[in-house]
Every structure is written in structure tokens, then in C-alpha cells.
Structure 1
């Protein structure tokens, strides 16, 4: 889960007025605490904020690997979170959940959207849920793409399934009473040593290799290194889902062992529909046209 998905160089944009910048494909937005966030806007339709996972990754792994198919139906707003990818870091080392949510809300106001959709992937589900919980009037709907809303629950899946692929008992990887997060590093190391890491996210190793091809560890990794020091990210966000009465579409993969193939069953959204696909962690990469079909149908029903 601490794996870097980062990649590529960035193009510097000038600081222009909001309306003008919104027409640009890429620019930097400065937050109220002076952090520069890299933003890329692409596509036509209802505005939709993509909230990338990692934690500490960046959105290129989505739009470079098939996720851009949704740009035919949505205006996608891609932002490298503070301390991630092409964005700057916080001089105050503020990577709290509240600050991440505030970044998104400041960007929405800057772009002039009354409402937007949220499309979180993986760890991004935690931030999207908190944003929707705090700002329901600004959210038109949510599209959860193989998202965790309880990181410890997902890590349990990761360690247990990792043991299965390694063909060893879980007790060999995790000491009795040991927090699941402490066992993670050893599991990842052993999976890497045996060339089995791809099985946690994909059935096809070539797709795992394609995902790794957009990595670049020279880019900003501050958030990825500091997030584990914030207890709020470890809370069970499914407890908040019952009070989020917005339209919700949830994607899950039958072979997504990084999140847990049945993790979505813990969600309690009152207005949710679910699409369980024959994929691993990245349905937009594995079945892009089917992914787009479900997103398009969901968006078409929104007011």
C-alpha cells in the first residue's frame, strides 16, 4: 500500500485568473497555506474530481492507463495532492485529513464549480468520504473505484492474501498481536522476491508492468512518507457512509486483493449501486469500455 505509482516530468503553467486557467490543460494552483498543487483538466461534461490513491501517488496512473476513457463524458479534474507527484510539499508538514479536504474545497471554489462529482481510487476513498461528509452540498455524486474506506481492513486482506500467494501461514508473516501495518513491509518484500507482487492487484502481470512504467520515484513523496503518522487516516470511514445520502456508484474487483474483494460489502451508503467486475484493482485499465459504460450510465441519471 506504500508503493509509489509516480511518473513523468511536468510543464510549468503561469498563474492566470480562474476562468482562464480552467480552460488550460494544466496549471499550478496555490492553496491558502501557500502549497502549489499541480492540476490537469481534460474532457467535457459534468466536472469530476479524481482523487488518487497511494497514499502518495499521483493521478497519471489513472489517465495514462485507460482511465481517460471517462473524459468522453466528464470534465475530469486531476490534482496531484500536496506532497505528491508534481505538487509542492507543505513547509509546515501539514498533511492532515482536514487540510487535504480543504485543498479540494479551495480548488472547487477557485474553478467556480457549484458542485462536482468525486471519483476516488484506492486510498483516495478515505479523503473522498470525508469531503462528502463535510461538504455534501458541493457534491453531485461519488464514483468509488476499488476504494478502501477502512485501511486496516484492507491491510488485513493484503496480508492474508499475500500469505496465500506465498503459500505460507499468516503466522509466519505476522506475529501474534502485531498491528497489521507492521507486517505489511515483510509481506511486500517476500512477494517482490518471488515475483508475485502483481497478483495482489492484477491477474495479468503485463498490466502490472504497464502500471509500473508510469512510476517515477524522483517526484514528490512527502505525503506518502508522512501519512502513516496521522491517526485519522486509519479510522473506519464506513461509519460515515450511512449519513452520506448522495448518489453513489461503487466499483469492486473480484480479484482485487490489495483492497479486499468483499470490502465494498461494509459500505452503508443509502443510495448506492454496485458494479463487481472481473478485474483486479484497476478496472479502468483492465476493462476500460465496460468501466466507461457504467460511469456514463450513472452520470446520465444525475440531475
Structure 2
């Protein structure tokens, strides 16, 4: 039997734990148009880009409230989008879909990934669908978490459910001459005033309060203030979903009234697996282990 030199054996033993060690780093990445994006990379396994919602929020609400459970199975790349959270704003106010997708593409190339998974939550579903539709060669699979692909329908769902929660007729909210967006903003304000907003997203008020505690309103919210200048975000992305052929996993919540419990039924992905959980808008927070198990099963099929 051939003996392995001691120095080679020692080197091998030293490298094994290093190879299996999870990645964890934070940094700022500068885009080609000079925007500083806050990036957090954590976990081990297949690379996956988390696309946060809002519009205009940040990534911390996901990994701080239980979403980090998926870091056991994937290398998660968290990016505060341009004009959001800890990232800077573009000087020319460019928040177009194409530019946001380009940000992600530039970061992917910088990290050296040929492909990665996408994991959008809520409003992030619109961006992820555009990304997977325009750059299918760079997306290996997509995991939609309580995502909207049609903002107009989502607003209708929210208004109908808000009316039910407050015990008023929908006609009191959707009044003649009032735009859908103004009606939506108005009813969200009313829910806040009545301390009922949590019922749109959760069954447990304490979980809503935990989510609210993570949100830092002193950070950048420029994207959220400017996104509605770009009508492309209000298109019906379910039409594009029909052309997205890579594997797709879709989560929805039986009690998610912010997007709508039935909204996922409008999706047209040809290769999708659906799971409706006994949760509201944030299954990673409400049922983290069940959330993780569904993702692990999905990942196993990608091998």
C-alpha cells in the first residue's frame, strides 16, 4: 500500500473543513452606473439571490425573521436594491426594470456564478419574473415566496380583504373618481389607524410587531418613492410566467390577504410546484422548518 506523505495528509485534513465552511461576508458592490449596493452573502450550497419586496424595503426583514434557515442548504446572496435600505440611489433616478435586472447581472458576474436561483418575496416577484424571462440562461430555478405577479389584481385583493376586516362595503373604498392606487393607499392608512394592519399579513399580531421592529424607516426609501413613475412594474407578469420553463417553486399563504390567498392560481409557469401553507404573508417567519423542508425537497430534484 502506497504511503501518503505526512505533509500532504496534513494539508488534506486542513483543507477539508475549509471547503465545507459556510460563506459569510458583507460588502458594497458598485454598479456600472455608480450605485453602491449593500450585499450580504451567507450559507453554503447552490447560489441563490434573494429579491426583497416593498417596493422599497430591504433584505434584513427576511434573514432576521427566520429566512436564514435556508442558509443551511444554499449560499444566499442578499442585495438591498438600488434606492433601498443600505444601498445608495442612482443620480439619474433610473429605477427601470431593465436597470434593476442589470444590477443583479453585474453582481452575479462579479461573484463568479454562471447561474443562480432566484428567491423573490412579495413585490419582488415582479422583478424576478422579468429577470427569469429576459435572462433564462442565468437562472437555474426560481422560488416565489408569497409573490405578486400582477399589482392591479393584488391591490383589488387587498382592498376587498381590508373592507372585510374593517366590516365596511367595498363601495366605501372604491369610490367613483378615485384611482385604484389612491383607494389602496387610503384603506391601508385606515387599517393602520385602527391597528388592524396585522390582519392583512398575519394571524398573530406579535409576529407583525416583530416584523415592524426590523424595519428601519431612517434608511433609504428612494426606490419606493419613485417606482410608480415606471408603469412597467404594473404590467401583468403572469403573461410572461408562461414562457419561464425552468423549475419553479411557489409558496402562498392561506391567510395572506396582502397579496391574496388565491393569487397564485393565476400563475402560468409550465414547470411549477405549489405549496399553500397555513400562514400569512411570511412563511419563513411563521413556519420556518416547514418552509425549509419544502425548499430542500425542491433542491433535491434539481440535482
**C-alpha deviations, 1:91-146, integer Å up to 9, x for none?**
01101111001101111011000110000000000000000001101111000000
Partner Cα distance (2:26, 2:103) in 1: 17
Partner Cα distance (1:82, 1:237) in 2: 21
| CA 1:277–1:23: 2 relative to 1, 3 Å | closer
Partner Cα distance (2:250, 2:152) in 1: 19
Q: Per-residue deviation at 1:176?
A: 2.7
SS in 2 for 1:118: strand
**C-alpha deviations, 1:249-276, integer Å up to 9, x for none?**
0000000000010000000000000000
Matched residue, 2:7:
none
Is 2:272 the partner of 1:272? yes
- Give the conservation status (yes or no) of the 8 Å contact 1:125–1:147: yes
Partner Cα distance (1:23, 1:53) in 2: 24
- Give the conservation status (yes or no) of the 8 Å contact 2:23–2:43: no
- Give the conservation status (yes or no) of the 8 Å contact 1:159–1:180: no
Matches within 5 A, 1:1-303: 25-176=25-176, 178-303=178-303
Q: Which runs of 5+ in 1 are unaligned?
A: 1-21
SS in 2 for 1:107: helix
Partner Cα distance (2:178, 2:260) in 1: 20
Matched residue, 2:10:
none
Count residues with an aligned counterpart: 282
Partner Cα distance (2:28, 2:67) in 1: 22
- TM-score normalised by L of structure 1: 0.92
- Give the conservation status (yes or no) of the 8 Å contact 1:242–1:269: yes
Q: Which runs of 5+ in 2 are unaligned?
A: 1-21
Decide which structure has the larger Cα Rg and report it: 2
- Give the conservation status (yes or no) of the 8 Å contact 1:126–1:233: yes
